[in-house]
Amino acid sequence: MPTSIDIKEFIKLSEQHPVIDVRTPAEFEQGHIPGAYNIPIFSNEERKIIGTIYKQEGKQPAILKGLELVGPKLHEFIRAANNITNNGILLTHCWRGGMRSASMGWLFESYGFKSITLKGGYKKYRNRVLESFAEPKNIIVVGGRTGSGKTLILHELQNQGEQIVDLEKIAHHKGSSYGSFGEEKQVSQEQFENEVSHAFSKIDTGKICWVEDESRKIGINVLHDDLWAQMRAAKVFCIDLALEERVAYLAEEYGKFTKEELITATQRIGKKLGGQHVKRAVEAIEEGDLKTACEITLVYYDRSYEYGLSQRPTENIIKFKFNKLDPQHIAKAIKLQAHTSTG
């Protein structure tokens, strides 16, 4: 029989052994343990059929229908598991830790695998994810107006041995009207939370963790209340970079995209930017003058950023003025300040 363990031990073992999620593809897409493999016992349609039978006829007829549907697929489950495991140990879960994971665990054990199931299933994992956001994170925020190269600086901090969590990378969005450019499709809110929690679980809370200053909403994804509160209460190392440096960086960064994409994204902020400003920015894009277009749109983005900064405690804002966007130099300077002030 499969061994059943609690969520803490399950997560620990998941660092060494593959996790098999036996829920439907739709359930898996909605949210799953990062890194898990989906070997669904039932397809989306099959689960609907069984659910209807259960409601209309009862448990036993539903089980019989389930066996009828699953029987021809048993060999496929074993083949899929064989392609995933390298040592014969599999961590298996369903939604509540009930019949689906128990059945798949029994099959794996019958074949010769070592199967370990999760007590309480994915529901228990989700509870753990939501609880994790309230745990202290020891955050320092890399701030600065749009075009300050915050993401470049964040990754340079990582190159210099610092801990980071890149929320925009997890969200597949850079957080502005232009933020979806060059990114994959965004995941569900549930999966975003799972991924963010997973990233922070790898962090040593005894050391600084750097994150980029974000709005609460990153594309369609929203930062959890408890994490957002910690980010707003954290120290902000604000990069003050000259306008011409920021414009040059943005023009190069977004110059790889089509005029149509840039115009559509600019028009999305039309109400906030103002009709005349939008008209001028669109004309500049059509003429290939991205620097002028950036200067116009930065009026809105700078105003928005300054307002957000004004909502933070003044004593938590530490400004660093730089003449050039040199991520290596900037990262070194703010890293030194962080460890000097906390050491």
The residues that are catalytic are 94
Neighbours of 289 (CB within 10 A): 14
How far apart are the C-alpha atoms of 273 and 298, rounded to whole Å? 9
Contacts of residue 232, defined as CB under 8 A and 6 or more positions apart, other chains included, come to 311, 312
Bridge-based pairing state of the strands 37-38 and 163-164: unpaired
Token digits for 98? 């009930």
What DSSP designation does 134 have? T
Token digits for 131? 């609880």
CB-based burial, 151-187: b 16+ in 10 Å, e otherwise: bbbbbbbeeeebbbbebbbbbbbbbbbbbbbeeeebb
Token digits for 281? 């920015």
The full length of the chain comes to 343
| Ramachandran class of 166: left when φ > 0, alpha when ψ lies in -120 to 50, beta otherwise | beta
Helix, strand, coil percentages for the chain (3-state, nearest 5): 55, 15, 30
How far apart are the C-alpha atoms of 186 and 324, rounded to whole Å? 33
Report helix, strand or coil for 164. strand
Contacts of residue 19, defined as CB under 8 A and 6 or more positions apart, other chains included, come to 33, 35, 36, 37, 91, 92, 93
How far apart are the C-alpha atoms of 200 and 275, rounded to whole Å? 42
